[in-house]
Amino acid sequence: MSIWRHGVLGAVCGAMLLGATTLTNAALAAAPQNTAVVYYTLLHNRLEGDENGVGKTQRVAMAVAEQTGSTLKEIKNTTKYPATYGETIDIASDELDNEVKLPMAAPVDVTAYQEIYVGMPCWWSSYPRVFATWFESQDFSGKTIYVFVTDGGSRYGRIIQDMQEALPDSKVVPFFEINDSTLDDLTDEELSQEVKEALDAI
What is d(CA 25, CA 17) in angstroms, rounded to the nearest whole number? 12
H or E element that contains 146: strand 144-151
- pLDDT for 33 equals 63
| pTM of the complete model | 0.84
Q: How far is CA 125 from the centre of its chain?
A: 19
- pLDDT for 55 equals 98
Q: Torsion over CA of 182, 151, 54 and 91, rounded to 10 degrees?
A: -150
What is d(CA 173, CA 163) in angstroms, rounded to the nearest whole number? 10
What is d(CA 78, CA 14) in angstroms, rounded to the nearest whole number? 57
Average pLDDT over residues 37-65: 97
Identify the band that residue 28 occupies on the pLDDT scale cut at 50, 70 and 90: very low
Question: Which candidate, 99, 98, 88, 147, places its Cα nearest to that of 123?
Answer: 88
- pLDDT for 22 equals 38
